[in-house]
Amino acid sequence: MTSRFEGKVAFVTGAASGIGRAVVERLKREGAHVGAFDRDHGRLRALALELGVLALEGDLTDPPSINAAIQALARDGGGLDVVVNAAGVAFSDNVETIQDSAWAMTLAVNLTGAMLVCRAAIPYLKARGSGAIVNVASVAAFNASPGNGSYSASKAGLIALTRNIAYSLGLDGIRCNAICPGWVRTAMSEVEMALIAKQNGTTSEAEFEKLAAGTPLGRVAKPSELAACIAFLASDDASFVTGATLVADGGGRLPAGSRAF
């Protein structure tokens, strides 16, 4: 394993599970001093004990807790170099069924929360004279599918925010990119597959197999694969990449219809 992040300080949201946890593991292995931010107290503490990272409990809908967490990490690590916004929530809805509360929560976490993290982190990145922000969006920002009304809107907004940050802060040496995963085997996707399986009278595994069959690579991603992509964007290997959107979906967007075997 390389040490691309030796001496670097990284702040990761959604750190207790899924893609966020995989990012924490990856950055830590590559030498980073990692601050793991999440609202799940139990999982966060277990993660900190297991990996030796700084546990930063907080909520993305609570700006003071975000500010306090970033301040604590910068104080503990001597600054800040990398920010990864991996936290997210999803509700199944379309425009005619969206509940105001679900819409508000989705945007509050997926879009506003990421903005609040970036806003709090930018002064520390500027103080370094460089830095990298990676926002975890989704192919749902581009792909129309049933039940993704509020989620798709939030992720499309996150891509637009990413591009604005990249343009605004380029002369400060700060890069900002987005990654758009397709289907990844996480706790969130497990819940979604369980709901679909219930509707179809099948099993979660059967539904995951259907997803894999419609993907050119023939499988669903592991969180570690997305973490590898995120680590690239956050590292100096991507030193001339900013304002970009990396789609990591196993080729799922390539076919116009389902894959024929």
Closest to 232 measured CA to CA, from 254, 139, 85, 240: 240
Whether 236 has a pLDDT exceeding 70, the answer reads: yes
What CATH architecture applies to the domain 9-184+221-240? 3-Layer(aba) Sandwich (3.40)
Give the pLDDT of residue 261: 34
Amino acid residing at 174: I
Q: What is the mean pLDDT of residues 183-188?
A: 84
Give the pLDDT of residue 74: 98
Q: Which residue has the higher pLDDT, 204 or 133?
A: 133
Q: Which range, of 26-30, 75-79, 162-166, 202-206, averages the lowest pLDDT?
A: 202-206
pLDDT confidence band for 209 (50 / 70 / 90): confident
Distance in angstroms (rounded) separating the CA atoms of residues 1 and 247: 24
Q: What is the mean pLDDT of residues 72-92?
A: 96
48, two tokens: 């900190």
Q: What is the mean pLDDT of residues 236-259?
A: 85
Task: Quote helix, strand, coil % in the chain, to nearest 5.
Answer: 50, 15, 35
Give the pLDDT of residue 1: 62
Give the pLDDT of residue 21: 98
Whether 258 has a pLDDT exceeding 50, the answer reads: no
Closest to 160 measured CA to CA, from 143, 180, 190, 174: 180
pLDDT confidence band for 210 (50 / 70 / 90): confident
Residue 167 catalytic? no
Extents of the domains making up the chain: 9-184+221-240, 185-220
Q: What is the mean pLDDT of residues 63-83?
A: 98
Alpha-carbon distances of 152 from 146, 168, 170, 209, rounded to whole Å: 10, 25, 27, 23
C-alpha atoms less than 13 angstroms from C-alpha of 89 in its C-beta half-sphere = 20
Catalytic entry in 151, 182, 193, 208: 151
Q: Is 219 left (phi over 0), alpha (psi -120 to 50) or beta?
A: beta
pLDDT confidence band for 180 (50 / 70 / 90): very high
Supply the pTM of this predicted model: 0.93
Contact yes or no for 194/231 (Cβ under 8 A): no
Give the pLDDT of residue 255: 65
pLDDT in tens, 44-57: 999 999 999 999 99
Q: Which residue has the higher pLDDT, 194 or 221?
A: 221
Q: What is the mean pLDDT of residues 59-78?
A: 98
